């Protein structure tokens, strides 16, 4: 088997494992991961939702790097094995020849760090980008102290800079329980768990453990508001059956409802996607060899990507085995993320009202979004009310196009590239217009996968060919 | 059997503008599109109105469009973000400066008040413009708007009048009987009508080919990008250093230009529109042009497909045979032209003639264009950066 250049995007558990396997098989491996992110990038809340209250200890790059190495034996193992590991590196784009694009040459990924950028050529790309936080809107969700479950775990365990003393956790599935355990291990008090359902989602054993630890579980309730003037000082809850609302004092609200796969890379590359209800996401269709519709591009999901047999199949395929075009089903989960997220959003939107800001970057409320209101800076309204529903007699056509909603309302068009609000936006449309999630065309993902300073990425090695042949569009009228 | 007075093929800005005018004039109009509204060239557009100093034969129509732009928000009832603050062509090097001086002589053949300015005067207008700017062309006329909002404004104004848009319904064939248009064929069946307007960019030639009609249009893929919002920097429609650079009302800097790739289209198929690492070169040029953009962040990029005629001009043509057929395409500046094209195309369909100045824009000018013009021009699919 000949050695191939393999780029692995994402030092998730699956990413580490296949990096080691590929290296052991003699391939030339580069493993890229965006963490630890620059403080500015963390503030965009992608992939992990840190919110507006980033601890100042994060500014100490050296101690953060040390903490990460201590907390991640797999990272240490990869480095010691001699794998080219690039941390704090954003893979911002991937480019390859394909229809209407014949001049890229060998497949390329664009990498960027705080110092500069590099275009890296490769034979195969393995996407193991893991998951990101799902954080729905509620009143006060922009306050410092509101953060996502993954971000909370990163601050607690990975960077060890968590500043909160008393946390309320939203959600009661595995992720929420992990946050509760980590918080308590670090001496952070858990003031309560909030769950719209009638029981703890993680199961009776988890419920019993919570009871034994004296952690209050607020069933049949959701958050009405994160209270506080400049930072969170408490939460106000609201019950789904109109019981009086409760207030709990806390300095942190950990939104640990669900995570969603980081699909922006395969989606922006044009991999064929399908809606998987269990994951509450569109994910790439893959073959038994983990290969997407694009040759040489592989997808390892967070749910099933750690499987060693799959890694062997992928590496065989990269080594030259025939493409096995049988498409595999996505691994199923205990709890359907679609059902669970829907229950949260339905409850939050029914109890929270229409004036809650859905899109933080562009300050657009739920009502403005669903009513297609023009952005406020235009100071204009629509002459007649309009609907996002597509009409036609093609039964297979999407009924709502999220890109259209984006363009009209600017929801998901801001600094965070829609990472905070695009998923809630789809669920809200589905609930309000009675359209199945799979019938909504999700907003396109575009490169770059994270916002990047122009100076970091602007071409500094432009060839004469590009410079001299640059076309002055549209008034170039040179004749052949 | 469904029947319409007019079927418009293509829910881009030209199709929607045509449909709006025709519906307003009393016709029963249906718009069909292979994909979603304003998803092809209309989503790639920079958003400029060009008064066509480059191609003076089109300038009278562009100036009619300008008059319509000034009242468009009120006419349609939906905001377009039309901004009338003039337009600049700036040269950043001697080569570009010489090109613009030559081009200026062409510009002067129009009756638009173009002026040639030095670099210092240009920097007074746009303080963030590079010291390297040597000068260029300026007019206080023309302007820019938001392409997606404008397309949708036409779309909504059209449906407000009772017009109908069906997305994801590709037209596979124009149906003709006894020399007259009788409808279109879609995957969902035939739809009948008395007239068809082909406003489907480089799909037009494919749909006209069965009638032995040669409409020379070449599709090309171009790339564009947008930054995070910046403080207000400039309001003019800016062209220079190989880029179009526009600051939107929200503050984002929108830019495009550079290498492009000639492609082929298929009937009824949404074309792939990948982006490439070329965006890095666009950013480099943007920083050269306006150094302040160093402080901006690259937010997203995309590609679009534009249809170009050999002379890079607008075409509006009414056919004698088959009867009831009109086509329009604008070589990459259809956004600005669209209000006037809509009036012209709808009038041609409904009255057989138009008050718009389109005498020099018919297909007749391509009578002598050889069928292998794309190869000769090196504009055939796969050619890049030529």
Q: Report the pLDDT value the prediction gives residue A243, as an integer from 0 to 100.
A: 79
Give the residue-averaged pLDDT of A462-475. 72
- Distance (Å, whole) CA A139 – CA A162: 23
Q: What is the pLDDT of residues A189-205, one digit of tens each?
A: 999 999 999 999 999 99
Structure token digits, residue B136: 């260029």
- Distance (Å, whole) CA A256 – CA B78: 41
Q: Report the pLDDT value the prediction gives residue A77, as an integer from 0 to 100.
A: 97
Can the peptide bond before residue A47 be classed as cis, meaning omega within 30 degrees of 0? yes
Q: What is the pLDDT of residues A108-134, one digit of tens each?
A: 999 999 999 999 999 999 999 999 999
Q: What is the pLDDT of residues A274-304, one digit of tens each?
A: 999 999 999 999 999 999 999 999 999 987 7
Residue A204 CB-density burial (10 A; 0-12 exposed, 13-18 middle, 19+ buried): exposed
Q: With a cut of 0.90, is the ipTM above it?
A: yes
pLDDT band at A461 (very low <50, low <70, confident <90, very high): confident
- For residue A213, pLDDT beyond 50: yes
Q: What is the pLDDT of residues A320-348, one digit of tens each?
A: 999 998 887 777 777 899 999 999 999 99
Vertex A144 angle, CA A140 and A149, to 5°: 90
Domain B3-70+147-216+311-371: give its CATH code: 3.50.50.60
- Distance (Å, whole) CA A374 – CA A380: 7
Q: Report the pLDDT value the prediction gives residue A478, as an integer from 0 to 100.
A: 42
Quickly count: other Cβ atoms within 10 Å of residue A316's Cβ: 15
Alpha-carbon torsion (A403, A407, A408, A410), positive or negative: positive
Q: Report the pLDDT value the prediction gives residue A477, as an integer from 0 to 100.
A: 45
- For residue B96, pLDDT beyond 70: yes
Q: Are A54 and A145 in contact, with CB atoms under 8 Å apart?
A: no
Q: What is the pLDDT of residues B252-300, one digit of tens each?
A: 999 998 888 999 999 888 899 999 999 999 999 999 999 999 999 999 9
Task: Pick from B97, B184, B299 the residue to mutate for testing the A interface (most A CBs within 10 Å).
Answer: B299
Q: Do A101 and B312 touch (CB under 8 A)?
A: no
Q: Do A417 and B244 touch (CB under 8 A)?
A: no
Would you list the domain boundaries of chain B? Answer: 3-70+147-216+311-371, 83-142+218-308
Q: Report the pLDDT value the prediction gives residue A378, as an integer from 0 to 100.
A: 95
Q: What are phi and psi of A81, to 5 degrees?
A: -70, -10
- For residue A244, pLDDT beyond 80: no
Q: Which residues of A touch B230 (CB under 8 A)?
A: none
Q: Which residues of A touch B287 (CB under 8 A)?
A: 454-455, 458
- For residue A388, pLDDT beyond 80: yes
Q: Which residues of A touch B379 (CB under 8 A)?
A: 480
Task: Pick from A361, A373, A447, A462 the residue to mutate for testing the B interface (most B CBs within 10 Å).
Answer: A447
Give the residue-averaged pLDDT of B151-174. 97
Q: Do B222 and A446 touch (CB under 8 A)?
A: no
- For residue A475, pLDDT beyond 80: no
pLDDT band at B164 (very low <50, low <70, confident <90, very high): very high
Q: Report the pLDDT value the prediction gives residue B175, as an integer from 0 to 100.
A: 98
**CB nearest to A100's CB, from B149, B221, B301:** B221
Q: Do B250 and A407 touch (CB under 8 A)?
A: no
Q: Report the pLDDT value the prediction gives residue A223, as an integer from 0 to 100.
A: 97
The rounded percent of chain B whose pLDDT value lies above 90 is: 92
Please give the residue that has the higher pLDDT: either A303 or B192: B192
Give the residue-averaged pLDDT of B6-22. 97
The rounded percent of chain A whose pLDDT value lies above 90 is: 86
Give the residue-averaged pLDDT of B298-312. 94
Give the residue-averaged pLDDT of B40-69. 92
Q: What are phi and psi of B102, to 5 degrees?
A: -65, -45
**CB nearest to A458's CB, from B167, B280, B385:** B280
Give the residue-averaged pLDDT of B122-144. 97
Q: Which residue of A has its CA nearest to B331?
A: A474
**CB nearest to A471's CB, from B250, B258, B287:** B258
pLDDT band at A472 (very low <50, low <70, confident <90, very high): low
Structure token digits, residue B256: 């495009």
Q: Do A408 and B149 touch (CB under 8 A)?
A: yes
Q: Report the pLDDT value the prediction gives residue B260, as an integer from 0 to 100.
A: 86
- For residue A28, pLDDT beyond 80: yes
Q: Report the pLDDT value the prediction gives residue B1, as an integer from 0 to 100.
A: 55
Q: Report the pLDDT value the prediction gives residue B386, as an integer from 0 to 100.
A: 61
Q: Do A392 and B228 touch (CB under 8 A)?
A: no
pLDDT band at A479 (very low <50, low <70, confident <90, very high): very low
**CB nearest to B333's CB, from A117, A457, A474:** A474
Q: Which domains does chain A have, with CATH numbers?
A: 5-131+262-318 (3.50.50.60), 353-449 (1.10.10)
Q: Which residues of B touch A377 (CB under 8 A)?
A: 249-250
Domain B83-142+218-308: give its CATH code: 3.30.9.10
Q: Are B274 and A100 in contact, with CB atoms under 8 Å apart?
A: yes
Q: What is the pLDDT of residues A142-172, one digit of tens each?
A: 999 999 999 999 999 999 999 999 999 999 9
Q: Which residue of B has its CA nearest to A479?
A: B377
| Residue B297, helix vs strand vs coil | strand
Can the peptide bond before residue B77 be classed as cis, meaning omega within 30 degrees of 0? no
Q: Report the pLDDT value the prediction gives residue A241, as an integer from 0 to 100.
A: 87
pLDDT band at A480 (very low <50, low <70, confident <90, very high): very low
Q: What are phi and psi of A206, to 5 degrees?
A: -65, -40
Give the residue-averaged pLDDT of B318-345. 97
Q: Do A471 and B81 touch (CB under 8 A)?
A: no
Q: Do B299 and A451 touch (CB under 8 A)?
A: yes
- For residue B101, pLDDT beyond 60: yes
């Amino acid at each position: 088997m000949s050695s191939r250049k393999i780029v692995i995007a994402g030092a998730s558990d699956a990413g580490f494992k296949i990096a080691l396997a590929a290296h052991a098989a003699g391939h030339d491996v580069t493993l890229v991961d965006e963490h630890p992110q620059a403080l500015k990038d963390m503030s965009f809340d992608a992939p992990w939702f840190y919110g507006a209250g980033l601890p100042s200890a994060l500014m100490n790059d050296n101690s953060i790097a040390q903490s990460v190495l201590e907390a991640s034996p797999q990272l240490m193992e990869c480095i010691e094995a001699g794998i080219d590991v690039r941390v704090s590196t954003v893979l911002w784009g991937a480019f390859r020849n394909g229809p209407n694009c014949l001049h890229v040459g060998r497949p390329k990924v664009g990498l960027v760090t705080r110092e500069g950028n590099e275009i890296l050529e490769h034979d195969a790309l393995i996407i193991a980008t893991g998951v990101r936080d799902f954080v729905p809107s509620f009143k006060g969700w922009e306050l410092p102290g509101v953060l996502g479950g993954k971000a909370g775990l990163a601050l607690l365990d990975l960077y060890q800079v968590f500043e909160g003393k008393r946390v309320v956790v939203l959600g009661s599935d595995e992720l929420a329980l992990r946050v509760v355990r980590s918080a308590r291990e670090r001496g952070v008090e858990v003031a309560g768990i909030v769950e719209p359902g009638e029981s703890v989602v993680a199961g009776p054993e988890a419920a019993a453990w919570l009871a034994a630890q004296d952690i209050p579980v607020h069933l049949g309730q959701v958050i009405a508001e994160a209270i506080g003037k400049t930072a969170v000082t408490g939460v106000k809850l609201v019950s789904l059956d109109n019981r009086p609302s409760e207030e709990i004092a806390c300095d942190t609200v950990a939104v640990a409802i669900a995570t969603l796969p980081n699909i922006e890379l395969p989606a922006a590359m044009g991999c064929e996607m399908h809606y998987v209800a269990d994951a509450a996401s569109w994910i790439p269709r893959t073959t038994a060899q983990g290969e997407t519709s694009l040759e040489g591009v592989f997808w390892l999901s967070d749910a099933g990507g750690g499987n060693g047999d799959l890694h062997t199949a992928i590496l065989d395929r990269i080594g030259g085995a025939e493409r096995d075009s049988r498409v595999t089903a996505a691994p199923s989960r205990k709890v359907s993320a679609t059902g669970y997220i829907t229950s949260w959003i339905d409850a939050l939107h029914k109890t929270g009202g229409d004036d809650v800001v859905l899109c933080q970057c562009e300050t657009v409320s739920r009502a403005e979004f669903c009513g297609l209101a023009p952005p406020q800076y235009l100071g204009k309204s629509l002459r007649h009310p309009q609907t996002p529903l597509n009409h036609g007699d093609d039964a297979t056509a999407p009924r709502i196009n999220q890109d259209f909603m984006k363009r009209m309302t600017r929801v998901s068009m801001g600094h965070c590239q829609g990472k905070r609000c695009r998923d809630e936006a789809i669920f809200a449309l589905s609930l309000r217009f009675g359209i199945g999630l799979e019938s909504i065309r999700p907003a396109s993902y575009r490169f770059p996968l994270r916002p990047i300073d122009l100076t970091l990425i602007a071409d500094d090695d432009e060839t004469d060919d590009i410079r001299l042949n640059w076309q002055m569009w549209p008034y170039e009228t040179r004749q052949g | 059997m469904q029947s319409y007075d007019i079927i418009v093929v293509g829910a881009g800005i030209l199709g929607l503008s045509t449909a709006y005018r025709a519906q307003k004039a009393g016709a029963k109009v249906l718009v069909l599109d292979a994909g979603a509204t304003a998803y092809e060239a209309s989503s790639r557009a920079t958003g400029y109105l060009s008064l066509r100093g480059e191609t003076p034969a089109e300038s009278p129509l562009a100036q009619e469009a300008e008059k319509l732009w000034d009242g468009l928000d009120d006419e349609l009832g939906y905001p377009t973000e039309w901004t009338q603050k003039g337009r600049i062509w700036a040269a950043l090097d001697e080569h570009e400066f010489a090109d613009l001086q030559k081009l200026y002589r062409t510009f002067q053949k129009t009756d638009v008040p173009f002026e040639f300015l030095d670099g210092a005067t240009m920097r007074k207008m746009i303080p963030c413009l590079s010291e390297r700017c040597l000068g260029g062309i300026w007019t206080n006329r023309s302007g820019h708007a938001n392409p997606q909002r404008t397309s949708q404004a036409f779309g909504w104004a059209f449906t407000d009048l009772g017009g109908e848009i069906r997305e994801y319904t590709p037209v596979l064939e124009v149906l003709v009987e006894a020399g007259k248009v009788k409808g279109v064929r879609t995957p969902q069946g035939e739809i009948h009508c008395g007239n068809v307007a082909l406003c489907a960019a480089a799909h037009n030639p494919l749909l006209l080919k069965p009638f032995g009609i040669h409409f020379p249009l070449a599709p090309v893929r171009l790339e564009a990008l947008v930054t995070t919002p910046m403080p207000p920097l400039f309001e003019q429609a800016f062209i220079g250093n190989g880029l179009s650079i526009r600051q939107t009302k929200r503050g984002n800097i929108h830019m495009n230009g550079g290498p492009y790739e000639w492609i082929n289209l298929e009937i009824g198929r949404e074309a792939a529109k990948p982006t490439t690492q070329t965006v890095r070169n666009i950013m480099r040029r943007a920083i050269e042009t306006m150094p302040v953009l160093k402080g901006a962040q690259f937010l997203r990029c995309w590609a679009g497909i534009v249809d170009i005629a050999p002379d890079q001009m607008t075409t509006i043509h009414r056919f004698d045979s088959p009867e009831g057929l009109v086509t329009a395409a604008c070589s990459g500046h259809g956004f600005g032209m669209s209000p006037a094209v809509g009036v012209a195309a709808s009038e041609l369909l409904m009255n057989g003639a138009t008050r718009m100045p389109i005498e020099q824009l018919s297909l007749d000018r391509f009578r002598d264009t050889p069928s292998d013009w794309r190869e000769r021009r090196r504009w055939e699919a796969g050619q890049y950066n030529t």
